[in-house]
Amino acid sequence: MIRVLEPGPQTTVQDAGRAGHMRYGIPPSGPVDRPSFVLANRLVGNPDGAAALEFTLMGPRLRAEAPCSLAVTGADVPVTLNDAPAPAWTTLALATGDVVKIGAARTGVRGYVAFAGGVEVPPVLGSRATYLRGRLGGLRGRALARDDVLHLQPGPIPRRSVVPLPARPQWGGDIVLRVVLGPQADRFTDEGVAAFLGSAYEVLPQSDRMGARLNGPRIAHARGHDIISDGIALGAVQVPGDGQPIVLLVDRQSTGGYTKIATVCSFDIARVGQAKPGQRLRFTAVDVALAHRLLRESDAALTSVALQEMA
C-alpha cells in the first residue's frame, strides 16, 4: 500500500486509456505523455499500460506502507527518498515507512509514478484511467487527496534499472510540432494558414488535459468558424472565432463545431502536454505518408529503448 501524504496540485490514476467510448461522449483519458508513462512502467517490470500516477507541475509526497518499487519519469523534477536525493528514470526500492517526495517541475509539466504491479482501482468501462470532468475511473473519479491509500496489484520484484540518458526526452525551449493540415483547412484564408505555419504561439495557463490553449497571430477564417459538429481526433487544432488555436488532448470532447485547421501528429502530443505556460509552439506541415513513416519510427524507437540494469 501507498499512503498519500501530499497529493500535489493534480495527481490522478491513469492507465493506457479507455478506448471505444468516444461515441458516447467519453474520452479515452490516459497519459498525456505516453512514452514517459510507458518507460515508467517498464522500469518497475509492468506491462506498458499498467495503471500509474500522472502529476501536474509538482509531484506528490508518498509513504510506503509495505515494501514496494517505483519509478518517476516525465517532467524534470527533483526526487527525494527519506529526504536524500534520489534519481528519476530509475527503479527505486522502498522499505516500509520510506517516504518519496517529488518536487516542482524544472522543465516539462507532467510526470509519472509507476509502482511494481500497478495501482489497483476498480476498472470503469474497461479502464482505470481518471476522467476528471466526468468523475469517472481512477480513485472515485477524482484527483488524489491527502491521506488517500493506494493499493497495488501483486507483482514480481523488478530488477533495478535505469533509462539511459539518450532515451530521456528533453523539455524546454521552442517546440516544433508536426501537423497534417485539415480536415477543414479550406475554411481558412491563405494568410490564415500562413500565419498558423509561420508564427510562434504561446501556451496559456488555461491549458489542461482537455486541450492546450494558445495565443499568437490571429488565424483568419475564410467562411466563418462554425461547422456542423463532427468528430474530434487526438491533436485536432480547433480555431474558434477569435482566431486562436486550441490543440485538443486526451480528455477532449468527442465532437465539436469549430473549424479544425490541422491535426498534431500523435508522436508529438507528449511535447504539447509537456509545454509550460509561456512556452512557445510552432507548427510545420507534413503529408500523411510522411506522418505514417514518422509514427512507425517513433514507435520503433520506444520499443527499442534498452533499460540498463544496475548493481
Supply the CATH number for residue 286's domain.
2.40.100.10
Q: Which domain holds residue 85?
A: 2-167
CA angle 2, 144, 152 (to 5 degrees): 30
Q: Is residue 241 part of a domain?
A: yes
Contact 39, 166 (CB under 8 A): no
Q: What does the block give as the cell for 280? A: 512557445
Give the whole-angstrom CA distance, residue 260 versus residue 219: 11
What is the count of structural domains for the chain? 2
Say whether pLDDT at 157 is over 90.
Answer: no
Q: Is residue 310 part of a domain?
A: no
| Together in a domain, 196 and 89 | no
Give the whole-angstrom CA distance, residue 151 versus residue 65: 10
| Together in a domain, 62 and 126 | yes
- 255-291 per-position pLDDT tens digit: 999 999 999 999 999 999 999 999 999 999 999 999 9
- Side-chain-side CA neighbours of 39 within 13 Å: the count stands at 29
> What contacts 151, CB < 8 A, 6 or more positions away?
1, 119, 120, 121
- 15-49 per-position pLDDT tens digit: 999 999 999 999 999 999 999 999 999 999 999 99
Contact 107, 142 (CB under 8 A): no
Q: Is residue 288 part of a domain?
A: yes
pTM of the model: 0.95
